[in-house]
């Protein structure tokens, strides 16, 4: 009897703990995630918005209730299609294959272009081994919903998102996209939603990085986020378990017509517009003619690229890689009639701060106040691992790091907490004789 009483007490307290915990932690068993990407939202736009007295109340709410990484490291090239597929797969562009917004694929003898709908949704360009997060999620028996994310129209590993919206239509507003996602969460039982939005990138290209139009677009996004937060709060079945991740793909910088490099000033166009399969024979010649010809032009043989760019292992990357210093633009021919109309651009070396995106998140599984110590440590490719960690998915092979992203996630275990109760309860009671109780 001396041993039975303490054991009964242990069982009783564990039962009470389980009842107490069940009301608080059921969402830990069924977490959900929304990932929203704001194209071209530079990391320091928050500081500039504050100086301009732009309404950022929804952004602030997310920051204050969750985590905010002011500046994260993104991928080369800092372009929309490569960056978004890196977010979705956790892979460098050299590994997932979307190496640019426009590139030649020697395996399929075909050219990919982000502006060509037929190629932008062609599985041949995406299904080369990379596994987007919606595919990983569905391989675990779950459902995904995607609005306009790069690669979502293509069948990858035999899968498309359970629900998806395509082709891209910028006339579908931010709030309408939220309504579509909320409908999928509420009525179709998805546990993962991805949403792409084209602002403030569009305004940044047309009007420049710090234009009034950029911050007008940001304020409109803030209204949309407020609508999202209200939509979540009004749905108790979601507010208890839905985690919001907000990120951008790259930054933005100003360009001008007096900072242009004309390639044909240095090379004959026939040397690089010939059949791509013959480029290898002229690679050294192209390199020699371009190297050190312009002080703002970076020229590399592919195998000599800086390793930090992770850009030399794909056959979709040409044998000679040329890119400009930040703020400069490469145009083929000064006599072509092509003029620089945009005031903002990106695609430059990710080490330039102006190319940097941000990351913030909030929700039941998200930590709080993890900011300064993670700045510039977390990478864009870690977002895939973050989602896997929250949704308890086994990730596909990727270039991200769980260690870098783990501090953003709360780890709650019923058994570890119960074990502590066992120790606390068992020690004092087990040694007390029955007749003294």
- In 234-278, where does DSSP find H-type helix? 236-239, 270-273
Closest CA to 98 of 244, 249, 317, 247: 317
Q: What is the pLDDT of residue 370?
A: 63
Structure tokens at 174: 């931010």
> Where is mean pLDDT largest: 2-11, 293-302, 415-424?
293-302
Half-sphere exposure of 236 (CA within 13 A, CB side): 3
Q: What is the pLDDT of residue 11?
A: 47
Transcribe 80-123 into DSSP letters.
HHHHHHHHHHS--HHHHS--SSEEEETTTTEEEETT-HHHHT-H
Residue 80 annotated among the catalytic residues of the structure: yes
In terms of C-beta density within 10 A (0-12 exposed, 13-18 middle, 19 or more buried), how is residue 1 classed? Answer: exposed
Catalytic entry in 80, 147, 162, 282: 80
Q: Three-state SS for 203?
A: helix
pLDDT tens-place string over residues 36-79:
999 999 999 999 999 999 999 999 999 999 999 999 999 999 99
Buried/exposed code over 2-17 (b: 16+ C-beta within 10 A; e: otherwise) = eeeebeeebeebbeee
pLDDT tens-place string over residues 379-436:
999 999 999 999 999 999 999 999 999 999 997 443 333 333 333 333 343 333 333 3
- Among the residue ranges 222-226, 266-270, 346-350, 421-425, the one predicted with the least confidence is 421-425
Domains, in order of start, for the chain: 4-23+414-436 (no CATH), 31-255+349-400 (3.40.720.10), 260-341 (3.30.1360.180)
Is the model's pTM score more than 0.75? yes
Q: What is the pLDDT of residue 431?
A: 36
């Amino acid at each position: 009897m001396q041993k039975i009483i303490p054991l009964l007490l242990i069982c009783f307290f564990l039962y009470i703990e389980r009842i107490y915990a069940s009301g608080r932690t059921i969402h830990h068993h069924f977490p959900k995630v929304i990932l929203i990407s704001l194209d071209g939202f530079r990391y320091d736009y928050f500081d500039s918005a504050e100086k301009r007295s732009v309404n950022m109340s929804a952004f602030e709410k997310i920051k204050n209730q969750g985590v905010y990484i002011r500046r994260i490291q993104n991928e080369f090239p800092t372009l929309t299609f490569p960056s978004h597929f890196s977010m979705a797969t956790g892979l460098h562009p050299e590994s997932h294959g979307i190496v640019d917004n426009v590139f030649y694929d020697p395996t399929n003898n075909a050219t990919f272009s982000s502006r060509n709908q037929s190629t932008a949704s062609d599985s041949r360009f995406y299904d080369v081994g990379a596994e987007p997060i919606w595919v990983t999620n569905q391989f675990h028996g779950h459902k995904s919903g995607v609005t306009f994310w790069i690669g979502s129209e293509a069948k990858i590993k035999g899968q498309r998102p359970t629900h998806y919206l395509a082709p891209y239509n910028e006339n579908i507003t931010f709030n309408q996209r939220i309504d579509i996602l909320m409908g999928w969460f509420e009525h179709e039982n998805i546990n993962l939603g991805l949403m792409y939005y084209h602002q403030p990138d569009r305004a940044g290209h047309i009007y420049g990085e710090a234009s009034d139009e950029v911050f007008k677009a940001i304020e409109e996004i803030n209204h949309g986020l407020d609508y999202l937060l209200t939509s979540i709060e009004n749905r108790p079945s979601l507010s208890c378990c839905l985690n919001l991740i907000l990120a951008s793909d790259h930054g933005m910088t100003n360009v001008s017509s007096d900072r242009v490099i004309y390639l044909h000033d240095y090379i004959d166009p026939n040397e690089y517009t010939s059949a791509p399969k013959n480029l290898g024979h002229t690679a050294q010649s192209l390199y020699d003619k371009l190297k050190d010809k312009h002080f703002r032009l970076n020229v590399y043989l592919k195998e000599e690229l800086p390793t930090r760019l992770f850009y030399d292992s794909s056959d979709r990357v040409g044998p000679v890689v040329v890119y400009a210093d930040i703020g400069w633009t490469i145009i083929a021919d000064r006599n072509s009639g092509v003029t620089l109309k945009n005031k903002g651009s990106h695609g430059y070396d990710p080490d330039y701060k102006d190319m940097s995106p941000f990351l913030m998140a909030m929700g039941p599984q998200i930590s709080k106040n993890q900011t300064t110590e993670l700045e510039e440590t977390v990478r864009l490719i870690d977002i895939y691992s973050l989602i896997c960690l929250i949704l308890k998915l086994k990730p596909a092979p990727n270039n991200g790091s769980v260690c870098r992203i783990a501090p953003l996630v709360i780890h709650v275990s019923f058994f570890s907490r119960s074990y502590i109760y066992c120790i606390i309860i068992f020690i004092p009671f087990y040694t007390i004789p029955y007749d003294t109780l």
